[in-house]
């Protein structure tokens, strides 16, 4: 199984061989992440929520979904590489922050998101 480092190295080589670095500024790469995520979302358009797992397992749909997930991952790795961000560190830090923001005792089984600290209650 390839590591993030080996995948990033392969992406650097792929981009360099095509002279695409000139197009890979952070703004364009962030837009690439968003557009590829949109293509992933499109694979689930018109699929009912309760049918999404079954749809994801269907071989033809799964192949398309896997390709779109890969495109999102590639775009994200390119962005992280360009701006010098360690994806693993960023995910670990966000997971730790989410554990504090969503304690088990008040979050388990609940979809609501708590207001960030310092945000006044809505008056109305």
Predicted confidence band at 102 (pLDDT cuts at 50, 70, 90)?
A: very high
Domain that holds residue 44: 4-103
Mean pLDDT of 87-101: 96
Print burial letters for 58-68: b (CB count within 10 Å at least 16), e (below 16).
Answer: eeeeeeebeeb
110 lies in some domain: no
For the chain, the domain total comes to 1
Token pair, residue 79, equals: 């962005």
Q: What is the tens place of the pLDDT at every residue in 14-35?
A: 999 999 999 999 999 999 999 9
Predicted confidence band at 121 (pLDDT cuts at 50, 70, 90)?
A: low
51 lies in some domain: yes
Mean pLDDT check: name the lowest of 6-15, 48-57, 103-112: 103-112
CATH number, position 55? 1.10.287.1080
117 lies in some domain: no
């Amino acid at each position: 199984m390839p590591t993030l480092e080996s995948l990033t190295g392969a992406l650097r080589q792929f981009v360099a061989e095509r002279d695409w670095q000139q197009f890979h500024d952070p703004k364009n790469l962030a837009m690439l992440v968003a557009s590829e995520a949109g293509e992933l979302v499109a694979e689930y358009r018109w699929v009912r929520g309760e049918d999404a797992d079954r749809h994801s397992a269907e071989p033809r749909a799964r192949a398309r979904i896997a390709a779109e997930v890969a495109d999102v991952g590639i775009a994200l790795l390119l962005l992280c590489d360009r701006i010098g961000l360690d994806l693993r560190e960023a995910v670990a830090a966000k997971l730790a922050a989410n554990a504090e923001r969503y304690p088990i005792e008040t979050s388990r089984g609940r979809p609501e998101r708590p207001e960030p600290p310092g945000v006044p209650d809505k008056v109305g």
